[in-house]
Amino acid sequence: MPATVDAEQIDRIVWNQHHDPFEILGPHMVQQDGQTVWAVRAYLPQAEKAWVVLPEEHKEVPMEPNHNPHFFECVLQVQDLANYQLKYVIGDHIHVIYDPYAFKTRAITDFDIHLFSEGNHHRIYEKLGAHFTEVEGVTGVYFAVWAPNARNASVLGDFNYWDGRKHQMRRLSNGIWDLFIPGLDIGTHYKYEIKNYDGHIYEKSDPYGFQQEIRPKTASIVTDLDSYAWQDADWMEKRRQTEPLTQPVSIYELHVGSWLHESSASPALRPDGSLEPVVTVAELKPGARFLTYRELADRLIPYVKELGFTHIELLPVAEHPFDGSWGYQVTGYYAVTSRYGTPEDFMYFVDQCHANGIGVIVDWVPGHFPKDGHGLAFFDGTHLYEHADPRKGEHKEWGTLVFNYGRNEVRNFLVANAIFWFEKYHIDGIRVDAVASMLYLNYFRKDGEWVANDYGGCEHIEAADFLRQVNHVLFTYFPGVLSIAEESTAWPMVSWPTYVGGLGFNLKWNMGWMHDMLDYFNMDPWFRQFHQNNVTFSIWYAFTENFMLALSHDEVVHGKSNMLGKMPGDEWQKFANLRCLYTYMFMHPGKKTLFMSMEFGQWSEWNVWGDLEWHLLEHQPHASLKHFMGKLNEFYRSEPALFTQDFDQAGFEWIDCSDTRHSVVAFIRRDKGSDDFVVVVCNFTPQPHSHYRVGVPESGYYRELFNSDARDFGGSNMGNLGGKWSEDWSFHNRPYSLDLTLPPLGVIVLKLTSEETQKALSGQ
State whether 300 and 440 are in the same domain. Answer: yes
State whether 46 and 90 are in the same domain. Answer: yes
Q: What b-and-e string marks burial along 421-438, b requiring 16 or more CB atoms within 10 Å of the CB?
A: bbbbbbbbbbbbbbbbbb
Domain membership of residue 426 (yes or no) is: yes
Q: What b-and-e string marks burial along 572-593, b requiring 16 or more CB atoms within 10 Å of the CB?
A: ebbbbbbbbbbbbbbbbbbbbb
CATH code, domain carrying 745: 2.60.40.1180
Beta strands at 400-401 and 394-395: parallel, antiparallel or unpaired = antiparallel
DSSP 408: H
Give the span between the Cα atoms of 536 and 361, in whole angstroms. Answer: 30
State whether 73 and 120 are in the same domain. Answer: no
The number of domains in the chain is: 4
State whether 395 and 425 are in the same domain. Answer: yes
Give the span between the Cα atoms of 87 and 10, in whole angstroms. Answer: 20
Give the span between the Cα atoms of 210 and 698, in whole angstroms. Answer: 59
Which of 72, 98, 124 is the C-terminal boundary of a domain? 98
Decide: helix, strand or coil at residue 388: coil
Is 433 an active-site residue? yes
Domain membership of residue 513 (yes or no) is: no
The type of residue at 437 is: S
Give the span between the Cα atoms of 474 and 465, in whole angstroms. Answer: 14
Domain membership of residue 556 (yes or no) is: no
Q: Give tens-digit pLDDT for 95-141.
A: 999 999 999 989 999 999 999 999 999 999 999 999 999 999 999 99
Domain membership of residue 525 (yes or no) is: no
Domain membership of residue 613 (yes or no) is: no
CATH code, domain carrying 200: 2.60.40.10
> Which of the following is catalytic: 433, 487, 545, 704?
433
State whether 287 and 386 are in the same domain. Answer: yes
**Element at 536 (helix H, strand E):** helix 532-541
Low-confidence ranges of the chain (pLDDT < 50): 264-275, 277-278, 282
State whether 88 and 117 are in the same domain. Answer: no
Which of 200, 222, 244 is the C-terminal boundary of a domain? 222
Domain membership of residue 497 (yes or no) is: no
State whether 342 and 464 are in the same domain. Answer: yes
> Which of the following is catalytic: 262, 295, 486, 516?
486
Domain membership of residue 681 (yes or no) is: yes
| Predicted local confidence at residue 311, as pLDDT | 98
Which range marks the domain in which residue 471 is found?
277-446+456-475
What is the DSSP track for 688-710?
Answer: -EEEEEEEESS-SEEEEEEETT-
For residues 602 and 564, the answer to whether their CB atoms sit within 8 Å is yes
Domain membership of residue 491 (yes or no) is: no
Is 8 an active-site residue? no
State whether 466 and 375 are in the same domain. Answer: yes
State whether 300 and 391 are in the same domain. Answer: yes
State whether 299 and 215 are in the same domain. Answer: no
State whether 282 and 358 are in the same domain. Answer: yes
CATH code, domain carrying 298: 3.20.20.80
User: pTM score > 0.75 for this model?
Assistant: yes
Rounded (5°) CA angle 162-123-254:
80
State whether 76 and 114 are in the same domain. Answer: no
Which of 207, 222, 237 is the C-terminal boundary of a domain? 222
Q: Give tens-digit pLDDT for 12-24.
A: 999 999 999 999 9
Of 83, 86, 102, 85, nearest in space to 21 by CA? 102
